[in-house]
């Protein structure tokens, strides 16, 4: 099975569209690791596109998606993120809200688990060896080999040895004897100082992942953010990958 794994769309239609065009017909299935909404200008279309490729079984609810269901949770968000959630609530309909309600916080499939943040805490950021080790311990205690996660917006591959340098567009072979935490990066708001969208391809038969980056029309997304009255910074940061 060839699986396209992606995360953190954040209502960025131009990025999501480019990703789907690049992968459609070439993969057997899609898995979304959450944060379909928040920050960006196209929540309605993005939710419906994710629904059409992942259904309800293969998409996770992220912290921004949960904030749609529990707007009081935005008190934990920074001011700009909270503003974007309030704006999103004003334009999505019951259909979109119902889809988000149907999603789960974790997907358990074969030897793999899929979450948005982490296994030891729902909204944790796995960005250090300490947090990675904690999650690898939990993963192995559950008898699983790979945890696919998002939330940090940074592509990553962790093992007990630490952070593995990622090479793009070539298979990184995995061992059934080892434990891995793997993050596809963000479709719609990368934060590794690279403005390109990011995802990965997982081949669960040949047991490898391929990290991919793609160019999309950032200027169009930027203009929509301005025209729809969202904070200008949310557009500017896309140009810098921050
Ligand atoms: Fe996110």
Question: What pLDDT, in 10s, does the model give residues 47-105?
Answer: 999 999 999 999 999 999 999 999 887 778 999 999 999 999 999 999 999 999 999 99
Measured in Å, residue 8 CA sits from the centre of ligand 1 at 5
The answer on pLDDT for 42 being more than 80 is: yes
* Interval 187-203: pLDDT, tens: 999 999 999 999 999 99
Measured in Å, residue 186 CA sits from the centre of ligand 1 at 8
Can you give the pLDDT at residue 74? 77
Measured in Å, residue 177 CA sits from the centre of ligand 1 at 31
Which domains does the chain carry? 2-240 (3.60.21.10)
Q: What is the DSSP string of 52-119?
A: HHHTTTTBB--HHHHHHH-GGGGGGS-HHHHHHHHHHHHH--HHHHHHHHH-BSEEEETTEEEESS-S
- Which of 162, 79, 66, 69 lies closest to 115, judged by CA? 66
Can you give the pLDDT at residue 76? 82
Measured in Å, residue 144 CA sits from the centre of ligand 1 at 25
Measured in Å, residue 64 CA sits from the centre of ligand 1 at 7
* Interval 108-124: pLDDT, tens: 999 999 999 999 999 99
Measured in Å, residue 157 CA sits from the centre of ligand 1 at 18
Can you give the pLDDT at residue 75? 78
Q: If DSSP codes are grouped into helix, strand and coil, which group holds residue 169?
A: coil
Measured in Å, residue 75 CA sits from the centre of ligand 1 at 16
* Main-chain phi, psi angles of 21, to 5 degrees: -60, -35
- What mean pLDDT is predicted for residues 220-232? 97
Record the pTM: 0.97
């Amino acid at each position: 099975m060839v699986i396209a794994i992606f995360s953190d769309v954040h209502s960025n239609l131009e990025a999501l569209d480019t990703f789907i065009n690049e992968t459609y017909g070439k993969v057997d299935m899609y898995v979304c690791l959450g944060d379909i909404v928040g920050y960006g200008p196209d929540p309605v279309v993005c939710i419906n596109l994710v629904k059409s490729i992942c259904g309800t079984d293969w998409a996770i609810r992220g912290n921004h998606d949960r904030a749609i269901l529990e707007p009081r949770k935005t008190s934990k968000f920074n001011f700009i993120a909270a503003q974007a959630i309030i704006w999103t609530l004003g334009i999505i309909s019951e259909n979109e809200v119902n889809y988000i309600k149907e999603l789960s916080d974790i997907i358990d499939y074969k030897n793999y688990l899929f979450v948005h943040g982490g296994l030891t805490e729902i909204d944790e950021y796995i960005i250090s060896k300490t947090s990675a080790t904690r999650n690898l311990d939990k993963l192995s205690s559950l008898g699983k080999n790979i945890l696919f996660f998002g939330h940090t917006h940074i592509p990553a591959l962790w093992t007990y040895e630490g952070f593995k340098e990622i090479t793009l567009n070539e298979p990184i072979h995995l061992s059934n004897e080892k434990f891995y935490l793997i993050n596809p990066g963000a479709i719609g708001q990368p934060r590794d100082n690279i403005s390109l969208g990011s995802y990965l391809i997982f081949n669960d038969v040949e047991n490898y992942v391929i990290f991919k980056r793609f160019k999309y029309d950032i200027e169009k997304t930027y203009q929509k953010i301005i025209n729809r009255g969202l904070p200008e910074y949310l557009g500017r940061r896309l140009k810098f990958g921050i």
